[in-house]
Amino acid sequence: MAEDYEEIINQARKVFKKEVWSFLDRTMKTKYGVDWQEKVKDSLRFHRKSSREIEWDTQAIIDVVIDRWYIDFNNGLNLKRREQALLFRIREDIRNNLAHEHQFTLSEVFTGLEDIQRFLKAIKSPEIEEIEKLKDLAKQIIYKEFGKPAETLSAQPKVVENIGPTIIPKAKPIARVSPDGLDARPAFINNLVNNLKKEYPGLTDKAGPAKDPYWSFGSGRSGFNYGWAFRPNGTLVAEVYIDPPNSKPKAAFNALKKQQSEIEKQFGKPLIWQLNEGKRASRVYTEVIFTITDSSARQEEVKNWAIDSLLKLVEVFQKRIINLEF
């Protein structure tokens, strides 16, 4: 039945590709006109057939929406972080697995169909019912294979009993540990630090964390640091940490925020400005949805993102921090 599962998920991918392309094209034309593809060329460096022609496959479409999420899709379209997380999962668990001829399990099929259906609902696609039909088809295959109805099957946190070796797992909290039970986040940060020092020697001599899921190094001005941190909400951030040793820590943040437009233009996308009322420290950061048990391919992707993002923050903020008056 593996071939049947693959065919169902591939049909869902085709519906997803068509609908998300329509959404992308419509949104970008509204904002930038018919030549909008010039705006996204930096997001598509791996998807070009030639210097001018773009190969708009499923991954290219997802990559553009993710890369320009906070510029074009987060504001005004009622799309939240959960929809961005769906795109990451669809790219990793459906598109990439199909490309590598992965044999889909029952659980993966229903999870994938649910993810696609939820994203299509978020962008108000009229093709939601097509995904529902594919879910019904999967249930028919299950009934044929196991001789039992599958009305209760979904990607929601339910357990399905007596249908063979594959079950829908219970929902789990955000993962922080490796299979040996240890917190794997400090090791991930250490790897980032080592790669950063290897590729950019002289940037910092500070060692990586021994046991903490975060790390930072100084900017050369007291109270202003650059670093990475895992957050409890399932994200990794690259940030500027602001806590100058005087009685006006928020004045420093506000002085930088006055330059927000120029800073974000130079950075290439909006940043998150966190004042933290009631606390001394403030932050300016960019983030990616990521947990330490994501696939190895996803981990490598996030490592590249983390180093690129931190270096860009240094490039954009360093002179401003050194010369900041507040």
Least confident among 3-17, 63-77, 205-219: 63-77
CATH class of residue range 185-322: alpha beta
Mean pLDDT, to the nearest integer, of 107-135? 89
Give backbone dihedrals phi and psi of 242, rounded to 5 degrees, phi first.
-120, 110
Buried/exposed code over 36-52 (b: 16+ C-beta within 10 A; e: otherwise): bbebbeeebeebeeeee
Residue 146: band (very low, low, confident or very high) from pLDDT cuts 50, 70, 90: low
% of residues, the chain, pLDDT over 70: 82
**Strand pairing partners for 183?**
177
In the prediction, which pLDDT does 242 show?
Answer: 95
The structure tokens listed for 104 are: 């889909």
Using the structure block, give the residue that is written with the tokens 């951030």.
Answer: 237
Least confident among 65-79, 102-116, 287-301: 65-79
Handedness of CA 58, 64, 229, 220 (dihedral sign): positive
Mean pLDDT, to the nearest integer, of 142-157? 50
Helices (H), the chain: 2-32, 58-67, 81-89, 96-99, 106-122, 128-146, 185-199, 249-257, 260-267, 296-322
What's the CA gap between 76 and 94, in Å, rounded? Answer: 28
Residue spans per domain, the chain: 2-146, 185-322
